[in-house]
Amino acid sequence: MDGIKYAVFTEKSIRLLGNNQYTSNVESGSTRTEIKHWVELFFGVKVIAMNSHRLPGKGNSHRLPGKGRRMGPIMGHTMHYKRMIITLQPGYSIPPLIEKRT
């Protein structure tokens, strides 16, 4: 379970819980198949779909992890994590993971 960092609780992610979809941030190097395997093995659920996206990098702070990327005159950073939306089969659910406010 090292690949999954924490659950995300935003307005959208709370709305998705009604559709049996769970949102969490995962390590940027993790693949969909790895995360699916970890979730099914650890929580004993059946995953039917996974969607992922990388969040845009943040400003010029040198304290932020992630690789530096230049977009014209602006220097940014890639994020060190990506967000996964995991859809479970009806009848399955997972308990909330560790909450981190975003």
41-91 pLDDT tens trace: 988 999 999 999 887 655 555 555 666 777 788 877 766 788 999 999 999
Domain coverage including residue 44: 4-58+71-100
Per the domain annotation, does 39 fall within a domain?
Answer: yes
User: Do 80 and 55 meet the contact criterion of CB atoms below 8 Å apart?
Assistant: no
In which order are the strands placed within the sheet that holds 99-100? 47-53, 81-88, 21-27, 4-8, 99-100
Per the domain annotation, does 65 fall within a domain?
Answer: no
Question: Considering the entire predicted model, what is its pTM?
Answer: 0.73
Domain count, the chain: 1
